[in-house]
Each structure stands twice: as C-alpha cells, then as structure tokens.
Structure 1
Amino acid sequence: MKDYILTFIKAFLSITVLFLPIYLIQTSGEEYSYTIKKVNPDEFRLEIGREGGTLKRALSGDAKTFNPVMAQETSSTAVIGVLFNGLTKTDLKTLLPEPDLAERWERDKSGKVWRFYLRKDARWFDGKPVTADDVVFTYNEIYYNPDIPSSAKDMLIIEGKKFKVRKIDDHTVEFVIPKPFAPFLQAVGQPILPKHILKKYVDNGTFTSTWGINTPPEELIGTGPYRLVEYVVGQYAVYERNPYYYEKDSKGQKIPYITKVKAQIIGDPDVRLIKFLSGEIDYYGVRPADLPEILPKAEEKDFTVYNLGATPSTLFVVFNQNPKAPIPEYKLKWFKNKLFRQAISYAVDRQGIINIAYNGLAYPIYTAVTPANRRLFDENFYPKYPFNLKKAKEILLSIGFKEGKDGYLYDQEGHKLEFTLITNSGNKEREIIGNILKDDLRRIGIEVNFQAIDFNNLVTRLMSNYDWEAVIIGLTGSMDPYFGQNVWLSSGHLHMWYPNQKKPATEWEEEIDRLFNRAAVELDPEKRDRLYMEAFKIIGEQQPMIFIAAPEELLAVKNKLKNVFPTVWGWYKSEYVYIEE
C-alpha cells in the first residue's frame, strides 16, 4: 500500500514547533513535566547542510526478500525502499506528485496519453544509464506479467485493463491509459528495475526467487540515494551513499548529505528503546507506554519527542473467510456470517484498549478511515459498534449459538465457539490487545487461544499457506484509497479475509469493486471522495476487518540531526538530513 511502500528513514516537515499539552510524568516520587512538540509544515525552511557522518538507526526485523516487486511486508520494504526510484514521487509537504526518474511529463487533451521524459543523468548502481527500455521492461514484463504476483499490479489496472507502455526514444516513454483517472501520476511511482540485470530471470521464470536475502548486496542494482553494501541476517544492514545519485542541493552539493547508514536489526522494541537512550541509534518510534521513561531523559540525552498526530495506520482483527484455508468448514461458516463479525465488533472495548495499550494516544475506528484521512473522515457517516457485551451475546444467540453448561457457546452442530487468534510477537500493544480480547470474549462464552508468533511466520501464514483463523494486524494506510486497491478489491493480493478472488465472492464485495473502479476514473474530487466513503461504509457495515484503533505517532530524534521534519506519511526531504556533531 507506500502506500504501502516505506521510505528508508522517517522524515520531518518543519523546524518550527507548536506546543501540545504538557505531559506530567511521575518518576521516583518526583513530578517531571515535558512538552511534546509538534511540527508546523507551513513554516518549514530547508537549510543547506554538510556532507558526511553515519546515521545510526534500527530495523524491526529481517527482510524476507530484497526484491521490491515481491516484498509484501514492512520488514522487507524498510530494508530496500531506499534502493529504488519510480518515475514520480510524492512531495510530503503538498502531497502532490513531483519528478523523480522522470524530469517532466505531458499529456494530451484526452487525458489518456502521457509522455514521460527521463533524466539523462540517472544511472544504475553499476554506472549504466537508466533508459526507456528499463521502464518498458519493468511495466510490460514484470508488473503486468501474469506469472509474477505483485501488489503493484492492482494499482496499475483500470477497469480490468492494463496501461499500454512503449518506448519513443531512449529517454521518452509513452503511457496510454484506458480512461483518465485522478491518481495516475502517483501510480507510476512504482520502482523501476534494471532490464540489463533482471531480464534473464524473467525469461527463465525465476524472477520471483531473484534477489533473495542471500543475494550479495553488490548484486542489488537500483538508482536510489543509498545502496546496500553489507547485510548480516539478524544483526545489521550497512548502506553507503550512491555516488551516481542525481539530485543535488541548491548549491550543487551532493545529496544525501549523510554518506553512511548503519541499521541494527532489533526485533524487540524494548531493546530499541535502550539502544536509543544509550546513543546507539539516532531516532526511535516512541510507544505510548514509553513516555514515563523517555520524557524525563529528553534534556539529558539531548533529543526531542514529537507527536505527529493521527496516523493513517489502522489496527484490526480479521477472520479468515478463504475457502482454500486449512480450517474446519463450520468455522468458515461462522466467519462468513456478517452478524457473527458484528457481534465480535460489539465485544471489542476500543476505548479500554486505547487507554491500556496506547496510553490514551489513539483514536477508536470502525472502518478503514482514520482522522488522518481528512477528506474521508466523518464520525457520523460510518456505522459504529460501541462496546456492549450483552448485545454481542444476544446477536450470537440470535444466529443459532446456544450456551452450554460450561458457560461456553456452541453452534447448532455442537461445535464449541472457539478460535485461535495470532499476532506478531514483540509488539507489546498487540499482545496487550490480544489478551484483552481473550478475556472479554470469554465473558460472552467464546474461548480464544491467543498466540504471538514471529512476524515473518505470520506473513507466510497470511499470504502463502492461509493457515490461520483470526489475526490482529495493521496496515500502514495510503495517501489515496486507490493505492489500497490491493486490499479492498476482491481480486487484491492483500484482500486479507479472502485474497485473489477470480470473481467477487459476495454481493457486497462486488459493490466495493464497483465503487473503487468508478472512483479511479472520477476526476471530480468531491464525487470521488463520496464514492470512496460509500465503499468504506460498506466495509464498516460488513466488518470483514474489525477495526480497533488508529494510533497517534510519536517520534524521538537526537538533536544532532538537522533538517529533520516529522510527518505521519514519512520523512520530508530525507536526503537533506545532516549531522551536526
């Protein structure tokens, strides 16, 4: 979804700070006040920086692949996102597309024919020039290849039709799209890949296993601001500035300013916190539970804590509705029942979860829209399921469950109402939520076997063998709902409850497909927003994903880093961050 693609380091938007409410922290019997700061994007001023230095950061887990087309999880995209560029990228201040590998573009009057003019100074890590052949190869032979599963493919099809991509000359590429549609320039921000390196793997059918994590870093050929030079599984990744990177600052200095990055692989957030406080990493995504420990040390350790506000990220529970899943048919019958899912939604104590797991720093949600999506967020438009265990149980009884002598509910065939709920280990918030759900559902006669497992194992279960019943997981969200099509369309690879459908399994999924397809070609912003809102209203009614909370994002940054400006969408002008020792 960048949307689901992650940038390499989280960036920031303004050096001018606004003050949020003071947090009063009790430590060792003493009260300590600290004002968490918020950046003001309207007053950002970029400084000319200095070259050099090493940025020390942390990665939350190992990559599963170095192949950007095959990467479906943040543990992979966080490692490799900085290695590649698309034709365009998004300006995180304006949220509008801007040039990247394409220095400019033009379209005809119909809005269906676009020409992109590539930068002539763009080179691959091996020094070879980026040409139109690379763009045509990437789209026609990789993204549109039926034998290569790709989440990007869902974003590059309009009403079931592909873009026509052809070479005009070495530095000009033409796209012909079936219909004009609003997010086209963002859609072509997908990574461009080197034809001279990867074509042989496409031709011999091994592309999907190409650039695995055992690939020597020097064989990974991209165009991004950094290249990977060392990767030790479970320990660290080392990056160096790409000597061929084409962007420069206003004085002609090379960027990125920081010439080396070392990223330790630290799965445990508690350990990441310790490393940040000890100076071994330069910034840290603060959990609400960390505030009592981290705020009193801000002055001594010389860092600033920012609250970036509501994020587009969502946390939810999903029940598996995939008929290919190795789970009992009677459980599939439960999970496919809208009233069953609504009953579970009523049994979720969202505000209690927010207070306990997020220290109050999150928003309750009932569909995929969060307060960060200002155009689509409307508290009164979407269905709500306020915490009500009595109502939850009444719904379950109304659809045929009966209470047994042991206090548990049983279906009409005598099967006990129980399921296994999984999440990724090491995520304290999700582990707390799992235990809260387990306890609350037990109160209405449901037995939950809650397990926390390794994240990459979790992804394998979700996306490969479908061996799961229910999961607590999240999505990073996207600037435009179009870039979530791989989740919301029934054919989508990340349509979590039942992915890759040949045709919609239900009438409501068919209607969501219809609304998303209409929105993709609707150029009137207000009409387009309304179509998306109607789709998310259906998701709120059907509850295929039982949404719980949208957390606020907190970030602690060492003050030696300059030109750092936090936004919930990522780092703004991350290549301009520099170190002042």
Structure 2
Amino acid sequence: MLKEVKYLLLAFFVILIGFLPFYLISSKPSNSIEIKKLDITNLEPVVGKEGGVLKRTLSSDPKTLNPVMAQETSSTAVIGPLFNGLTKVNEKTLLPEGDLAERWEVDNTGTVWRFYLRDVKWFDGKPVTADDVVFTYNQIYYNDSIPTSSRDVLTVEGKPFKVRKIDDKTVEFTLSKPFAVFLNAVGQPILPKHILEKSVKEGKFPSTWTVNTDPKEIVGTGPYKLVKYVQGQYVIYERNPYYWEKDKLGQQLPYIVSIQSQIIKDPDVSLVKFLSGESDIYGVRPSDLPKLAENYKKGDFTIYNLGPTPAITFIVFNQNPKAPIPKYKLKWFQNEKFRQAISYAIDRVGIVNMVYNGLAYPIYTAVTPAQKRLFDESYYPKYPYNLKKAKEILLSIGFTEGKDGFLYDKEGHKLSFTLITNAGNKERESIGNIVKEDLKKIGVEVNFQGLDFNNLVSKLMANYDFEAVIIGLTGSIDPYFGQSVWLSSGHMHMWNPKQKTPATDWEAKIDQLFKEASIELDPVKRDNLYKQAFKIIGEKQPMIFIAAPEEMVAVKNKLKNVFPTVWGWYKGDYVFIDK
C-alpha cells in the first residue's frame, strides 16, 4: 500500500513501490549481464560477521516519523527498521511468526488469544511490557481522534479487539468472532507508553514524532535506531544494542552495525551511486539494463529476479463530493460508463511493451500473478485497447463532438481533466504521456503534470485536490490488509475515502464481501469471496488498472545472506558484509 499495514523487520531492504518505479527483469539482456532467479525455498543464512556500514539510497524525504500516522512509503521506508509488532511475516512461508511475542495460545472458540512477550527493551533500556501493548491498541489504534489507516484492519465486523493485561509479560485479546488473519493483523507496531502517553492524553499524538523531531526522542524496539536525519540529504541508523534477536552462536543481530541512506530523488543519480560504489542496493528499472550491462563486472554485483510483484499501477479519478473540483467533472468521474470508456482507451499491452520492455502484466483489477490463489485471467472482466469503443461509450452517455475535435458534455463543458503523477518516476511519466496522446485521439484533453511525491500524496490523501492521478499500491499478502483501500469507510479508499455509509450499492456489496471474508476460516471459500469483490472492482473500474510489473534488485556481492523476495528480505537481520 501507500503504507503497508505490516512493518517488515528490515523494511529498509525492501524496494519500496509507492515512490520508486516498478522494476523488471529480462532473462537475457544485452551484453550477457547475469540475472539470478532466486528460489529461497531451501536457503537459510549462515553465521556471519558483525560490523560494517550498509549504504543505500532513498528517493524521497519522509512526511512523518510517526508509524501510526504514516500513509506513504516515503515515511515507512525510514520508520520501518525502528519498530516491531507482536508478530511478523516470514517472507519464505508467508505465515506469521513471533516478533515481540515469543509465543501465543488460543482457546477452543478461536476468539481469546494470549500473547507472551519476550524480554525486550526499548531503545532507552526500559522493558517492554503488556502495558505498552494495551496502551498502543486501546489509546492509539482505537482512539477515534487519531486518524490512522491501521484501525481499518484491527476490527472484526467493525468491532475492535478487547485488549487487556494479564501480567507484565502477558496480554489477552478477545475477539467478537474468529478472525482469519488475526495473527497477521497484530503485526502493527507497538509503541512506548512511558514516552507517548502524555501526548495522547493532551491530544497531541498526531503531531508527535514529526520530521523535525530529534531522532533521540524516537523510541522503538527495532533492529536499528535513527541517529540523524538531514532533510533532503541523508538518514543514518545505528544498530539497537538492546535488540532481542541473536544468531545460533549468540552473536548480536543484525550483523550490520550502521546504515547510511542518501536521499536522492533522481533514480538516474541513484544508479550512478550504485555503480560507483556509493550504495550497495539498487532497484532496477528496464531502462537501466544497458547501463548495468556496460558496467557489469562478474563478482561486483548480482541482479536478482524476484518474479511478479503484487504491486499495481493505475489511474484513479476523484469521486469525492467534498473535493475542490468542478461539480460537472465530479459527475463525469462518478459515471461508471465514463470510467469504462477511459479503460478501453488505455493501451495496456503497448504500455507493457514500451514502458516495461515487455516485463509486466496487463491487469484489469487489483489482482496480479503474485497473488496466485486469486489470479484468474478468465474470471475478471477485461477492457482490451479499443479507441473506437471508448469513444462510442462516451457518445452514448451524452458527450458530443465539437468542431475542434474534442468532446463536450451536455452543458457545453470540454471533456478535459488534469492527470498528475510523481515527478521523476519515468515509468509513470511515460504512461501519462501515452495516455494523453491516446485520449486525444478520441476527443479527450489531458493536462499531464508531474509533482513532488509528498505533495502528490497530500493532494491524494489530505486535501483531495486532484482530478486524476497515476499512482501505485504495493499490494499485501492477504486482501484483508488492503481494507483501508477497498472498504468504503477506508482512509485510503482513494476515489471517495472515509464514507460514513457506502455511496453506491456496489461499494456496499464489496464491504459485505470483505466483512464475510474476514471471518471465513475455510481458505477456499475465503478466496472466493475476495474474488467476487475484485470482480466487482474490475467491472466498476473505480481505479483504471494498467500493469503489474516484475521486479528485480541489484545487490553488491560483498553482501552475504542475501534472500530478497517481492514481500521483503527473508532473514534480513542476517545480512552481513564480507570485506
């Protein structure tokens, strides 16, 4: 998602999709550059060496350093290494495993869970207790005065979990009904009561831990602590000396003791930094392959094929009645036939070939080949590229062609809208230009603009001051964790967020299907409910889905225990530098 609901232990290793381009691979690119298809099924880390500095780049400044308030990957990229939840996801099995919780028990009804905490300390040396867990849930996540998308995934049929302390190291969750992905849901970051309770009581929590906060004040439990952040320049981390995990020889993890992240908005500059040795990890775009091949030296770096990504690229039109856009445009955007017409005018296959060098998948709903249980090309509706059909639909809903060749609505308004995306993302900029030219052929004027990513996110998520946007979602292991996007009440329901009651019958139906799926324990039946929901989304096209790319990452060979996946790095704490 723009913000992932789970925080991977080493989120800084993940190629973050919300602001970087989507990255692809070729089985045999020019100049015989080696690309490794990595199957981690039987791979496990070896004992490594402590020490060294990992160098990486970030493509944007964070908007906040508060994990509860973060809604975009520019923030979670920086915050991710600082915090832990009760559980985390094993990137190999995609199943939950213990994080702050060493173990848990569930009663025979499936509704009462007890978690037993490890002996973990905060960055300031104070112990993590059940009080911190109860505080995080009851006073932060379930606090209606704190706007957070995390709350969307911490309820069962709209009802919050009941969270109470049993003793200092035991906390109990009581659910209204059995909950299929409960163990994944409690991967949300746990926060320190002794640090944050005052700001919560004073109503200041949403403005706590801003980008101007002294890093020493940000107290977590993660593998790294933030020691310095200079806006527009760099972020520096040091290993958390109190971090709980050790290797089998008792050595402190993570092995790498420091991370230095330069903030570089231009991905071309990031590529140069990687090739010059100033960074150790780089997410590869299709256009990078010739340059990488040119500079390829066996033994210097390896490009890993991570396979299909769950990430999606799409166009979304603003259907929010409160948005500061002309009412006549709102009327267009709310018409499903209008959206379907635009969908037919999107040359997905051409975009896959021209923008992604053929290394992506055309998509028509929010399911990609990475989500194997849900991906079914024959099940979901398709909108093959057909400009004639697109124009016919627009004419059928009342638009007429003017002498200038552009279409006009019944009130004489020219069919024109502004389409924005994040500047510097070459893939999205290319998509925007292709869309602009194709829509012009059927009488639709598109004003295409690139904006700074954080400015774009503010327009999309805060003031709703946009008409249409090209953006992406990272995807999630289970559709439930996309509820903030797909539920009509969701904070990230981008076309019309935070509805008190569903604005349309089809949105109400999706709400119902997601509600049923959340308590359906039979995985086949559960998948079928989600497939029905995504079929409706495909039919109504609230987002005009374009492509799901494959992903690859280049890593310097001095890094060992390297196991990247599209879901994160498996055993990321075990990565070490072999000098």
Which among 266, 269, 294 is matched to residue 268 of structure 1?
A: 266
- Residue of structure 1 aligned with 2:28, choices 23, 31, 48: 23
TM-score (norm 1): 0.96
Q: Deviation of residue 11 (structure 1)?
A: 6.3
Is residue 89 from structure 1 mapped to residue 88 from structure 2 by the alignment?
A: yes
Q: Within the alignment, does 1:424 sit opposite 2:429 as a pair?
A: no
**TM-superposed deviation, 1:4:** 6.0
* Structure 1 residue aligned with 2:108: 109
Question: 8 Å contact 2:7–2:84 — kept in the other structure?
Answer: no
State the 1:46 CA deviation. Answer: 1.4
- Match in the other structure for 1:68: 67
Q: Tell me the SS of whatever aligns to 1:413.
A: coil
**Of 133-142 and 301-310, the range deviating more from structure 2:** 301-310
Corresponding position of 1:234:
232
Aligned to 1:178: 176
2:311 aligns with: 313
SS at match of 2:138: helix
Q: Distance in 2 between matches of 1:24 and 1:247?
A: 40
Asked whether the equivalents of residues 34 and 302 of structure 2 are also in contact (C-alpha less than 8 Å), the reply is no
- Given that residues 134 and 193 in structure 1 are in contact (C-alpha distance below 8 angstroms), is that contact kept between their aligned partners in structure 2? yes
* Counterpart AA for 1:10: F
Q: Give, in whole Å, the separation in 1 of the partners of 2:153 and 2:522.
A: 20
Mapping for residues 188-203 of structure 1, pairs under 5 Å:
188-203=186-201
Amino acid at match of 2:35: I
Percent of pairs with identical residues: 71
1:529 equivalenced with 2:513 (yes/no): no
Which runs of structure 2 are paired with 1:160-171 in the superposition (5 Å)?
160-171=158-169
Which residue number in structure 2 is paired with residue 8 of structure 1?
11
Give the corresponding residue for 1:145.
143
Q: Is the 8 A contact 1:163 1:176 kept in 2?
A: yes
Aligned pairs (5 A) from 1:127-146: 127-146=125-144
Shift of 1:296: 3.5
Q: Does structure 2 conserve the Cα–Cα contact (< 8 Å) formed by 1:309 and 1:552?
A: yes
Quote the Cα distance in structure 2 between the aligned partners of 1:92 and 1:81.
Answer: 16
3-state SS of 1:422 partner? strand
- Greater shift, 38-47 or 236-245, is seen at 38-47
Structure 1 counterpart of 2:574, one-letter code: Y
Report the more deviating stretch, 37-46 or 3-12: 3-12
Distance in 2 between the 1:86 and 1:3 partners? Answer: 11
Instruction: State whether structure 2 residue 355 is matched by structure 1 residue 349.
Output: no
Match of 1:509, as an amino acid?
E
User: Could you list the runs of 5+ residues in structure 1 that have no partner in the other structure?
Assistant: 13-19, 26-31
Instruction: Report the alpha carbon displacement of residue 204 of structure 1 after superposing the two structures with TM.
Output: 0.4
Aligned twin of 2:20:
none
Deviation at 1:360, TM superposition (A): 1.2
Alignment of 1:339-488 (within 5 A): 339-488=337-486
Q: Any idea what the Cα deviations from partners look like across 1:230-266, whole Å, max 9, x if unmatched?
A: 1000000000000000000011100000000000011
Task: Letter of the 1:145 partner, please give it.
Answer: N
> Aligned letter for 2:441?
R
Q: CA deviation at 1:300?
A: 5.6
- Greater shift in the superposed pair: 351-360 or 387-396: 351-360
Quote how far apart the aligned CAs of 1:550 are: 0.4
Deviation at 1:43, TM superposition (A): 2.3
Structure 2: distance between partners of 1:4 and 1:322: 28
Query: Does the CA contact (< 8 Å) of 1:418 and 1:448 recur in 2?
Result: yes
Q: Aligned in 2, Cα 1:418/1:11: closer, same or farther, shift over 3 Å? A: closer
The answer to whether the aligner puts 1:46 opposite 2:45 as a matched pair is yes
Q: Which moved more, 1:366-375 or 1:349-358?
A: 349-358
- 1:298 positional shift: 2.4
Cα pair 1:11 1:573 within 8 Å, conserved: no
Cα distance in 2 between the residues matched to 1:385 and 1:88: 40
Distance 1:574 1:11, change over 3 A: farther
Residue aligning to 1:29? none
Contact 1:59 / 1:267 at 8 angstroms: preserved in 2? yes
Give the secondary-structure state (helix, strand or coil) at the position aligned to 1:43. Answer: coil
- In the TM superposition, residue 8 of structure 1 has moved relative to its aligned partner by 2.5
CA distance in 2, matches of 1:324, 1:168: 45
Question: How is 1:551-566 mapped onto 2 (pairs within 5 angstroms)?
Answer: 551-566=549-564
Indicate how the Cα distance of structure 1 residues 123 and 361 shifts in structure 2: closer, same or farther if over 3 A, else same: same
Tell me which residue corresponds to 1:16.
none
Please list the CA deviations of residues 12-37 of structure 1 after superposition, one character each: whole Å capped at 9, or x if unmatched.
9xxxxxxx974241xxxxxx223311
**Hey, what does 1:15 align to over in structure 2?**
none
Partners of 2:494 and 2:347 lie apart in 1 by: 23
Partner of 1:294 in structure 2?
Answer: 292
Looking at structure 2, the residues matched to 11 and 573 of structure 1 have their Cα atoms a distance apart, in angstroms, of 12
Query: Cα distance, 1:184 vs. partner?
Result: 0.1
Specify the alignment match of 2:22 in structure 1: none
CA-CA distance at 1:41 after TM superposition: 1.7
1:304-337 C-alpha deviation (Å, 9 max, x unpaired): 1111110000000000000000001110100000
Which residues in structure 2 correspond to 1:513-528 (within 5 Å)? 513-528=511-526
The equivalences for 1:215-254 within 5 A come to: 215-254=213-252
| Aligned residues: CA RMSD | 1.2
AA at the equivalent of 1:101: L
